[in-house]
């Protein structure tokens, strides 16, 4: 099943002999229910010649899976007189909530740093969109701190050698989504690279949604926000009244 496929040329125009990518994903919709422990996605597809026949070239494949972007504030802590306290902070307008890269070889062996930065081919090249004015070196330190934090959380991943290519035409990669992923629309972009040049790209989309009781609560809060707010207030007052009565009896 091909999920929301969009073919695009990231360079000025595709030459007659340059490849086409046809991507697909094993699940175009992932439901997050109570007890969700994560999901294992299979991203696969084919590299085709423009005429629709199998590719005869030698290409490297890079797959980048991104989650919805978020505004993030990173705080730095310092130990002052034996107490850990906030010493500074930096804001980022659009940090991806999830970011994973799988490639047929290490990225540094496929493209140079300039190309990797243009296409965000690696966690070192994520465009975090910092806000405010801050010393560039300080900004880079905060950005690195954000990346390292999300690596430890399993939200930023790199897997060099994680893409397998068969018969120069079929490719596949597996990416693990941890249990703490954010819901929303994810994009899986695949790049075909030869001799350091990105020759073609294609995008598949994945929806991560809350399901079950949690999903119904989220839907209700979005559709009927006013009545949802009134209900939450009423529930809080009722719980407070019940607690007061129980303690009064004690």
Residue ranges of domains in the chain: 20-211, 215-249
Name the token pair of 103: 């490639």
- Averaged pLDDT, 189-208: 94
What fold characterizes domain 20-211?
A: Immunoglobulin-like (2.60.40)
Q: What angle do CA 63, 66, 69 make, to 5 degrees?
A: 160
- Give the CB-side neighbour count of residue 59, counting CA atoms within 13 A: 33
| pTM score, whole prediction | 0.74
pLDDT at residue 155 is higher than 70: yes
Confidence of residue 200 (pLDDT cuts 50, 70, 90): very high
Percent of the chain with pLDDT over 90: 46
Mean pLDDT for all residues in the chain:
80
**Residues 26-49: pLDDT tens digits?**
999 999 988 889 999 999 999 887
């Amino acid at each position: 099943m091909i999920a929301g496929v969009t073919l695009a040329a990231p360079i000025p125009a595709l030459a007659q002999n340059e490849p086409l990518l046809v991507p697909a994903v094993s699940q175009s919709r992932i439901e997050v229910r109570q007890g969700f422990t994560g999901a294992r996605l299979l991203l696969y597809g084919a590299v085709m010649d423009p005429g629709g026949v199998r590719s005869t070239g030698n290409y490297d494949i890079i797959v980048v899976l991104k989650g919805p972007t978020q505004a993030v504030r990173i705080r730095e802590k310092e130990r002052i007189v034996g107490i850990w306290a906030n010493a500074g902070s930096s804001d980022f307008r659009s940090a991806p909530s999830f970011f994973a890269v799988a490639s047929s070889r290490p990225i540094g062996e496929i493209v140079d740093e300039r190309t990797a930065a243009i296409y965000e081919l690696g966690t070192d090249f994520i465009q975090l969109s910092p806000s405010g004015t801050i010393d560039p070196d300080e900004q880079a330190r905060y950005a690195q701190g954000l990346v390292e934090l999300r690596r430890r959380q399993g939200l930023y991943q790199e897997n060099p050698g994680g893409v397998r290519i068969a018969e120069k035409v079929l490719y596949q990669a597996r990416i693990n989504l941890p249990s703490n992923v954010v819901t929303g629309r994810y994009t899986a972009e695949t790049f075909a690279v030869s001799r350091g040049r990105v020759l073609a790209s294609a995008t598949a989309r994945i929806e991560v949604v809350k399901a079950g009781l949690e999903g119904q609560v989220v839907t209700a809060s979005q559709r009927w926000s006013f009545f949802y707010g009134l209900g939450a207030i009423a529930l809080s007052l009722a719980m407070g009244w019940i607690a007061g009565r129980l303690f009064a009896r004690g």
